Structure 1
Amino acid sequence: MASFEVIGGRKLSGEITPQGAKNEALQVICAVLLTEEPVTITNIPDIVDVQKLIQLLSEMGVTVTREDEETYTFEARNINLEYLESKQFVNLGRAIRGSVMIMGPMLARFGMCKLPKPGGDKIGRRRMDTHFIGLEKLGAKFKYDSSDEFFHINANGRLKGTYMLLDEASVTGTANIVMGAVMAEGLTTIYNAACEPYVQQLCRMLNRMGAKISGIGSNLLTIEGVEKLGGTTHKLLPDMIEIGSFIGMAAMTGSEITIKNCQIQELGLIPDTFRQLGIKMEFRGDDIYIPTQENYTIETYIDGSILTIADQIWPGFTPDLLSIALVVATQAKGTVLIHQKMFESRLFFVDKLIDMGAQIILCDPHRATVIGHNKQVSLRGIRMTSPDIRAGVALLIAALSADGKSVIDNVEQIDRGYQKIDQRLNALGAQITRI
């Protein structure tokens, strides 16, 4: 188990470029299973979760060629279906939650799939019903074997298009169903579909491969099934979660930072939400410039009531950045209520921030009230453990702003979602040592 030793209180400066989007990468890499022709994907982040998924596909029989540091070509011509019975498949499939998105492509192309119960962050209940119900409506049959924790899925021939109203706008659920529907017989209509930029990117990529998807960017997708898909090239968006993390880090450390190549038009409410916390920023072309701020003040509502920042389905504020918003608020002037609606365990990391001196009231598993210090009292360095990817980076940001030395254990969690984060932040002037 690795740890970060962080010497806090240092101002950072310079330029940093966000990695390719992790959540998009997991979707579009699974989509290569839909064709036997080559698919080239660029801007792939070198992070643990993505590398595990690439390894999984490689062992399934996909020919993987690394063209350069962030470009891969995939050719899924000879898939070994017997590999799905192996111990190696079980171990890799359970190691990464993104493995669930092989179901749609495998059903569409091969009419079957077998999947171990996937892993991922322990941030509360993360049900998979939307995936299963949607694919069942396309004609798949599911059987769960509790003795070996395997899902057995069969299509009994070609999937068939249908109308469906999703019970929730699940991003990965929508992606899985779309990948199943693109080669289903007839017309599929998906209402209450997730419409995040990453889902839009997947749909555009599939259309370049020969799919017929309309309604992209809305919550109503119409898919006319085709018999076969071809190859394509695709470039990932920059990771919006990294961009939001860097905005928060700049404010907490009083640093002057430029975040390069942000694809600002794809960020939704992220910039405005951090502006509500008092963070100043300028858009310079496609870059975001964060000036040095000695103080920042949380806005209130027009009637003077306390600001609430809550996660929402797109185009609302992403739940993956609530941890960052929370830690940024600890040094702001004012008070904010953070409402994490989707996962009931994602706020439990606040006990570490309280140990560092933050003023936070954990109201219940979903809500926390943060009373900012206005940078009058610094957080203090402590030893802590990263519980998941996003909380881990929030704790890293807190440590960068704190007085003294902090040690963050279990940084493998951070490595799952952030590419060489210690090296990249050290290049801005941080002092992070990997132990």
Structure 2
Amino acid sequence: MGTFEIKGGLKLSGDIHPQGAKNEALQILCAILLTPEEVVVHNVPSILDVNKLIDLLQSMGVEVNKLSDSSYSFKATQVDINYLRTDEFRVKAASLRGSIMVVGPLLARFGKGFVPRPGGDKIGRRRLDTHFLGFQRLGASFDFSIAENYYAVEASNLHGCNMLLDEASVTGTANILMAAVMAKGVTTMYNAACEPYVQQLCKLLNRMGAKITGIGSNLLTIEGVTELHGAVHTILPDMIEIGSFIGMAAMTQSEITIKNVSYDDLGIIPYSFERMGIKMERRGDDIYIPAQDGYTIDTFIDGSILTIADAPWPGLTPDLLSVFLVVATQARGSVLIHQKMFESRLFFVDKLIDMGAQIILCDPHRATVIGQGNRVKLRATVMTSPDIRAGVALLIAAMSAEGTSIIHNIEQIDRGYERIDERLNKLGAQIRRIQ
């Protein structure tokens, strides 16, 4: 188990480039299974979850060539469907949440797909009903073996249909979409997720020969085609990492510029940080954050306490609520953080309370943060990262605290943030990785 040793209280300065988007990469890499032709993908982040998926694809028979540090070519000419029933596949796929999205492409191209119950963050219940209900609507049969903890879908012919998703699931939308592009007839998918990740997947699929309209809305129309071909795709910068850097700059009173952020794809994220009192300036496609001695949380028009809550796109992504929570601890004013989607994601606040933060955990979904306005600095402590997003929130807290903190289980952070210690050290941080 790896560990970070962080010297807190240091100010950062300079430019930082965000990595490619993790959530988009997992979808795009699964989509390469839809064609035997070459698909080239640029700006692939070198993070644990993505590297695991690439390894899984190689084990399935996909030819993978690394073209540069962040570019790969994939050729799924000889996919071994029988491998999906092996113990090795079971172990590899079960360790990765994104493995669930191989099912849709395999069902579309080969008529069958298998996957064990996938792993991922322990942040609460993450049901998969939306995925398999969608496959069934397209004409697939579904089976779940409780004894083996294995999902299976099969279909001799997929057919288009009208469907209303029971939730706007990002991975569910992506998975069903990848099955529907090769179904006979027309599929309409209402209540579809419309995050930039899904929009990017739709654009890639269209370049591969799919016929998808309604991109960017929650109503997708897919006209099935018989085959898809190769294409080239570039992954967007990671909006979660960009938001993490904005919060990090504010907490450490640092002046940094986040480069090439694809600003128009950030949605409500910059405005939400501005409501926390954080100043920033758009400079072309960069975000400049000046050093601030302090920041004051806004209130609603009637003066009542501000609520920051997650919502389906174009609402605020739930992946950033951990960062908003930690940023609020040193603001002037109070805020209610409402995590609607996952019931275990706020349980890391006990570690912030140990550091001196004033937080009331109202229930599994809500926490009230009373900002200290930098009057009382967080104090260093020893903690363990429970998941990706809480891990980086704790890292931000440690960087702003007085003294030297220890964070164990940093593999969780590595799952979503590429060489975060090296990149932040170049800005002036002092983070030491201990194996």
Band of TM-score, shorter chain:
over 0.9
User: TM-score if structure 1 supplies the norm length?
Assistant: 0.99
* 1:49-64 matches, cutoff 5 A: 49-64=49-64
Q: 2:34 aligned with 1:34, yes or no?
A: yes
Match of 2:144 in 1: 144
- The answer for unaligned runs of 5 or more in structure 1 is none
Counterpart of 1:95 in structure 2 is 95
Looking at structure 2, the residues matched to 340 and 273 of structure 1 have their Cα atoms a distance apart, in angstroms, of 15
Report the counterpart of residue 420 of structure 2 in structure 1: 421
> Counterpart amino acid of 1:261?
N
Partner of 1:126 in structure 2? 126
Amino acid at match of 1:254: Q
SS at the partner of 1:68? coil
Q: CA deviation at 1:114?
A: 1.1
Equivalent residue, structure 2, for 1:206:
205
- 1:158 shift after superposition: 2.0
Instruction: Please name the residue that 1:305 is paired with.
Output: 304
Q: Distance in 2 between matches of 1:412 and 1:203?
A: 31
Give TM-score scaled by structure 2 length. Answer: 0.99
Q: Distance in 2 between matches of 1:152 and 1:286?
A: 44
Q: Which amino acid aligns with 1:45?
A: P
Aligned equivalents of 1:384, 1:111: Cα separation in 2: 47
- Which residue identity is paired with 2:269? I
Deviations 1:49-87 (A, max 9, x none): 000000001000000000000000000000111111111
Letter aligned with residue 25 of structure 2: A
Distance in 2 between residues matched to 1:366 and 1:85, nearest whole Å: 38
1:40 & 1:122 partners in 2: Cα distance? 32
1:253-292 equivalences in 2 (<5 Å): 253-292=252-291
Name the stretch that deviates more: 139-148 or 279-288: 139-148
Mapping 1:180-329, distance limit 5 Å:
180-329=179-328
Structure 2 counterpart of 1:366: 365
Distance 1:113 1:301 in 2: 49
- Within 2, Cα distance between the matches of 1:255 and 1:158? 57
Matches within 5 A, 1:317-356: 317-356=316-355
- SS where residue 183 of structure 1 aligns? coil
User: Quick one: which amino acid aligns to residue 315 of structure 2?
Assistant: G
Which consecutive residues of structure 2, in runs of 5 or more, have no partner in the other structure?
none
Counterpart mapping for 1:375-414 below 5 A:
375-414=374-413
1:236-287 deviations in whole A, cap 9, x for unaligned?
0000000000000000000000000000000000000000000000000000
Alpha-carbon RMSD across the aligned residues, in angstroms, is 0.4
Cα deviation 1:313-350 (Å, max 9, x = unaligned): 00000000000000000000000000000000000000
Question: Per-residue displacement from partner, 1:163-196 (whole Å, max 9, x unpaired)?
Answer: 0000000000000000000000000000000000
d(CA) in 2 for partners of 1:335 and 1:50? 37
State the match for 1:108 in structure 2: 108
- Which residue number corresponds to residue 171 of structure 1? 170
Q: Deviations over 1:98-122 (max 9, x none)?
A: 0000111000000001111100000
1:285 maps to amino acid: G
1:327-382 residue CA offsets vs partner (Å, 9 max, x unmatched): 00000000000000000000000000000000000000000000001001100000
Q: Distance in 2 between matches of 1:103 and 1:162?
A: 19
Amino acid at match of 2:105: P
Counterparts of 1:341 and 1:210, CA distance in 2: 37
1:118-172: per-residue Cα shift (whole Å, max 9, x none)? 00000000000000101110011111111111112111x1211000000000000
What secondary structure does 2:67 align onto? Answer: strand
CA distance in 2, matches of 1:401, 1:31: 40
Q: Provide the secondary structure at the position in 1 that maps to 2:244.
A: helix
CA–CA distance in 2 between the matches of 1:282 and 1:270? 13
Partner of 1:8: 8
* Residue aligned with 2:375, SS: coil
Give per-residue Cα distances to partners, 1:195-223, cap 9 Å, x unaligned: 00010000000000000000000000000
SS at structure 1 position matched to 2:226: coil
Divergent runs of 4+, >4 A: none
In structure 2, distance between residues paired with 1:191 and 1:113: 24
